Structures are given as C-alpha cells and as structure tokens.
Structure 1
Amino acid sequence: MLLLDLDTVSPRERVDAFHHALTDSLVPNDVFHEEPETGIHARMELWRVGGLDLFATRNSGFEVRRTAQHVRHHRSSPIVSVSLQPLGVHRAEVAGRRTLLGADDICVFHELSPRVYGWSGDGASQAIMFDMDRLGVPVDDVVRASRRLRSSPLHGLVLQHLQGLWRDPGRLEADPGAQALGAATTELVRALLLSAAHAEESVEVRSTMDDTLLTRVLAYARSHLADRDLTPERIAAEHAVSVRRLYTLLGGAGISLEQWLIEERLGKARRMLASKRYDRLTVAAVSARCGFSSPSHFSRRFQAASGVSPSEWRRLGGAVPVDEPVDDPVVDPE
C-alpha cells in the first residue's frame, strides 16, 4: 500500500505531509530535513505479511529524533523495529552510542527507548515492526543487543532472511504461507536479539537456540541450495549438532531431508526457468545454480516431478499446474 509519494504533493506542503505519514505509520518523533526550503522527496509504502507490518521509505536526507517525552506517550502495544539500509550510509544513536549502518547491517530500535536515526542525501530504509509482547524480549535486552548484533553467530543468517523478505513483499502479503513466514521471522529475530544481548552459554540463549533450531536449519539449507556439498553432515556441523540429532529434529517435523532438498531445488528451478530474469541461462546453468549434480540428473528429476522437461517448462512460462510447497523468500539467494 502506498502511504506517501511527495512527487504528488506541492513543495510547500511536503514537510507537513512527510511528518504526517511518518508519525501515523510509526510513532511520534521530531523530524528534521536536510534541505526543507529547496524541496524534499519521499516515497513510503506499507505491507502486512503474516501479522507483521513492513514499512519502506526512500527519501532525501533527514533525521528522526525520539526523545524521552515521546517514549512516555507510546502506543498501547509498543513495537520493536528491525530495519535494513539498502541505500545510503545511515546514522543511529541509542543510549549515547553512535553507529554508522550500511547495506550489510541490521538496525534495531525499541519504541520504549530514545533514539536518533537518519541519513544525508538520498537514502532508503526497510523496517519490519514486531509487537513487543509477541517478540517477548525485554527492553533492556533489545537495547543491549542493538549495540552488538554482529557478535551473534546468527547475524548472517537473519540478515539473509530479512533481505529475502524484501525481494517481493507484495507477493508475500497474499501468500497462503504468510502466517507461518511471520512466525518464523519473529522466532529468528528473537533468537538474534537474545543471542546478541547475552553470553552464548546463558540459559536464555540456549533455550532460544533450541526452540529455533528447526527454523534455523531450514533457513540455512534454503540459502545454500546451490551448494552440491550441502550434506547432512555439513548442515549438522554448521548448527553444532550431531547428524543423529539433525535427523531426529527433522523427523519430528515430518521432514525427510533428502526429499525436502530435492523439492526445494526443483521449486527454485521452476521459478528460475519461468522468470525472464534468467532467460539467458541455459538449462544446464539453472541446474548448477540449483545444486543438482548433473544436467541429466536434473532433467530426469524435473520431468518426473513436473510432467514436462525443463525446456518445455520454460517455453510455457511455468504455466503448468504442479503441487509444490509455498515459496519462501529465503529460497533464492541470486
């Protein structure tokens, strides 16, 4: 849903329109623009995926200041925002600590803590809003974690997952798997915050890591489908568990790892073959990018599962009914 496009607003009304859209969509703040007299630009959009609000903005240089007074007037259900910075170098300050953030950083703010955030020149932010009660992480832990997210071994995994969500939020909004995706995203962010806030050996982190192991295993496997050596041994080692425990975990969820990997790889191949983005790739190249051992093995598997050859699937643009799992945005790391 489009919230604001300042190109449709007269220059003299843009500052007020920007402030109105930002405070209505998020929380009260003081907003300062780099060049309010010479014109500002902004485009803000909002999606709702599995109970989570996804807010994106691309705008000219500005700074948002959330003071202790603002905190005292928070909404009845406070939120924790978790954002990416796909464009520009962003400045953040929480509890007196200043940080510069780029495309490979995750930024976390708790509504119940003062903060400063902004950038110079053209910039963009993609934020996911988590209800504080649903996330279940205390304010102090969120603030502590926000200063040391990269110290967590989960940072890279969660970053990939969040980047995947933003590839096509409009498509995810209406997806039948949106609720499950929202729940999995909440679990991963909770695990990241507790991992960064506490020592790895703490009771809180051990409990969270155990609770989210299945989610983390599947997210890891999806992000490494192109690797032909994605073996049970490697997956188990990456998560510091035995192969036996890995199979017990997956078996408890009704998942056969080998079959699941084949289905995920075939699903990725179907999407690539039907997408104009990959028109220049040969079928053999698609096979390699999806982690199959050889083009002939891929073709046999594809024909058996889809009823047509990979080339025919591409020619038809994917317009062949196939029963397959709901797409997950983390699947395609291309």
Structure 2
Amino acid sequence: MGFVLDTTGLPVQERVEAVHTAMMFASAPCHVIHEDPGGDVHARMEVWDLGNATIFTHRSSGIRLLRTAKLARQDAMPVIALSVQRRAQGRIEQRERQQVVPPGELLAVDLSAPYDYSWSGDGEAGCLQIPFDQLGLPIDLVRRAAPAVSASPLYRMVTDHVAHLARDPAAITGDVSAATVAAASVDLARAMLVSADRSGRHARQVYAETLLPRVRAFTRRHLADPDLGPATIAAAHNVSLRRLYQACSDAGFSLEQWIIQERLQRVRHELTQPQRRHLPIAAVARRWGFRDATHFTRRFKARYGMTPSQWRRSAEAARE
C-alpha cells in the first residue's frame, strides 16, 4: 500500500502545513514555499515502494522546494531522484548549475545535497528515487554524471520508463512482476549514469551487464506491436541476434516465450476491466500483438487453464 496525500478534502487553512508534512515523508526534508500561499494551494502526492526504490508522484499549484546545506547534512543515506516533468516547466539549481526542464524531460537530482527546485502554476512530476548503495557505483561517479544524463544514449529509454512507472504506480507495485520491474529499473538507472559519465571507466561493463534489463524494458513498451520479435529487439539495442539469444540463454529463459507470456498477462488484466467489457476478446488480443485469434485462445487456455471468455465471465461474476 502506498502513501497518498490529496488536499482536495482538507480545509484551505490546513493545506500549507499538510503539504509540508507530506513532503518531509515523501521526499528529502526541505523548505516548502508556495507560489501563492494565500490562494488556491492544492496538491496530490503518492509514494509507493518498488523494491528498494520508491516511486514518488507530485501534482500541485506553484511550489518551490528548497533544500539547504543544513537540511542536507541530516541525511545519512544518499539518494538519487530521476524525475520526469509531466506538466509545467521545472527549474532546478544544484551545485551552481541551473537547468530548465520542460514537460517530457528528465532530470537527476542528488537528494542528499542542497538544491532549489520549483515550478510556476499547476505542475506535475513523477520520479524514481534510488538509494546510492543500490546502484553499486562510486558516489563521485553518480554525482558527476547526474547533471549530464541527457548525454547518455539511454536517456530517452530511462525517461520513458520513469514516466511509465509514474503513470500508474499502484498497479505496477501491486503486480506480481514488481520485484522484476524494480531490479530492471535500478539497472537502467545505473547504466544511464555510467554512460553519461564522461570518464567512461565503467561504461562497457555496465552496458553489457544491463542488456537484459534494457531488453525487457524495451519489450514491455512495445508489446502492442505485432511485429515485435528478436530481430527488432536486437536491432534496437545494436547487438547481433546471436548475442541477444546468448544473453537470454545465460539467464535461462526463452525470449519468444517470455514475450507471449507478457502479452497474455496484459490481455488477462484488460479482460477484468469494466471499461473494456464492450470490446470483443479478439479486439483486446489484437491490442496486445496477437494477430491470430485461434492461436491466442489456445495459448491463453494453456497458460491459465480456461478460455478467455471463461476468464472474463469469472471476473464479472466476482464483481457482482
């Protein structure tokens, strides 16, 4: 279960203090300065555990988060936040470097160091917070790479991944695959930071070690593409098919079978959603890359012990 603050139900005079208290819990302790403290202050924050990392989403009226050197000295464990701006322009200043972050872009913030972060008007951001010790990298490398993450060839992949995590953290953290997603998320963050570090001392090793997490993240984002397959995946990661198959073999799994299982899970989940009950089962299957309805039904029954229509009816009966 996650932590959620929504000021909608709070009296106006209590909202400023509620946001300050929630921010102390949700992120690093900092001074919370509202753009218009006497006006329409509103906020919604969610904090969800994802393995040893944390997903934090924040939507609010104009706000400034000021972490001073004194506050920074209170934290024993350094944490890096990979934050995707979702609405309004974010502004960050850390270690004498200023950056404007438009919607859809990512910034890396060392939460254990002083910073000044803000947006004007209604804004929104979603971030993945990872303790430094989970990255397995030298602290100086992480701090050196953080301001330069946009130079990493993995920048867009990690940006899309974090944005996806922040879109529905409750569903992701509550899914049976949460532990796998957590491990892959840390691996992707680690690879991005290393590849952004201009010294390049760790890049080749980490890039190789994180091939499978990158493959899994890419595949999950493209499951709906019926043409997704080993050749497409290998080309997207600049590796040969032989190298891709070897990596999968070393990990003890079949790439093709894993893709089918991931697609089946998506269809199975969608068939339980009331808002999808009007869609024919074949249409739902096509949405997740199954071109052949007969093949899909056979695969579904072999995996779950019932046909898709039986599964949908059982889900509807459970809701009544």
Q: Distance in 1 between matches of 2:5 and 2:206?
A: 38
Cα offset, 1:88, TM superposition: 2.5
The one-letter code matched in structure 1 to 2:114 is P
Q: Distance in 2 between matches of 1:105 and 1:233?
A: 29
Map Cα deviations across residues 236-274 of structure 1 (whole Å, 9 max, x no partner).
222222211211111111111222222222222212222
| Alignment-derived partner of residue 47 in structure 2 | 46
Match of 1:210 among 197, 201, 208: 208
| Alignment-derived partner of residue 226 in structure 2 | 228
| Alignment-derived partner of residue 188 in structure 2 | 188
SS at match of 1:166: helix
The one-letter code matched in structure 1 to 2:22 is A
| Alignment-derived partner of residue 259 in structure 2 | 261
| Alignment-derived partner of residue 132 in structure 2 | 132
Cα offset, 1:139, TM superposition: 4.6
Alignment TM-score, normalising by the size of structure 1: 0.83
SS at match of 2:202: helix
Cα offset, 1:113, TM superposition: 3.2
| Alignment-derived partner of residue 271 in structure 1 | 269
Cα offset, 1:24, TM superposition: 4.0
The one-letter code matched in structure 2 to 1:187 is D
| Alignment-derived partner of residue 38 in structure 2 | 37
| 1:263-302 equivalent positions in 2, closer than 5 A | 263-302=261-300
Q: Distance in 2 between matches of 1:220 and 1:21?
A: 34
Map Cα deviations across residues 143-172 of structure 1 (whole Å, 9 max, x no partner).
443333233221232223223323433344
- Change in Cα spacing, 1:166 to 1:242, as seen in structure 2 (3 Å) is same
The one-letter code matched in structure 1 to 2:213 is T
Superposed CA RMSD in Å reads 2.7
SS at match of 2:271: helix
Stretches of structure 2 lacking an aligned partner (at least 5 in a row): none
Q: Distance in 2 between matches of 1:125 and 1:21?
A: 16
Cα offset, 1:276, TM superposition: 2.7
Say if 2:126 and 2:163, in contact at 8 Å, map to a contact too.
Answer: no
Stretches of structure 1 lacking an aligned partner (at least 5 in a row): 321-334
| Alignment-derived partner of residue 157 in structure 1 | 157
Cα offset, 1:49, TM superposition: 2.1
SS at match of 1:316: helix
How many residues align? The count is 317
Say if 2:184 and 2:217, in contact at 8 Å, map to a contact too.
Answer: no
Map Cα deviations across residues 212-241 of structure 1 (whole Å, 9 max, x no partner).
111111221222122222222222222222
Q: Distance in 2 between matches of 1:3 and 1:287?
A: 34
| Alignment-derived partner of residue 305 in structure 1 | 303
Larger mean CA deviation between 258-267 and 311-320 belongs to 311-320
Map Cα deviations across residues 193-217 of structure 1 (whole Å, 9 max, x no partner).
1112237xx3311111111111111
- Change in Cα spacing, 1:6 to 1:288, as seen in structure 2 (3 Å) is closer
SS at match of 1:147: helix
Cα offset, 1:174, TM superposition: 4.7
Q: Distance in 1 between matches of 2:98 and 2:43?
A: 25
| Alignment-derived partner of residue 109 in structure 2 | 109
Larger mean CA deviation between 166-175 and 153-162 belongs to 166-175
- Change in Cα spacing, 1:2 to 1:245, as seen in structure 2 (3 Å) is closer
The one-letter code matched in structure 1 to 2:59 is R
Say if 1:108 and 1:142, in contact at 8 Å, map to a contact too.
Answer: no
- Does residue 61 of structure 1 match 2:32? no
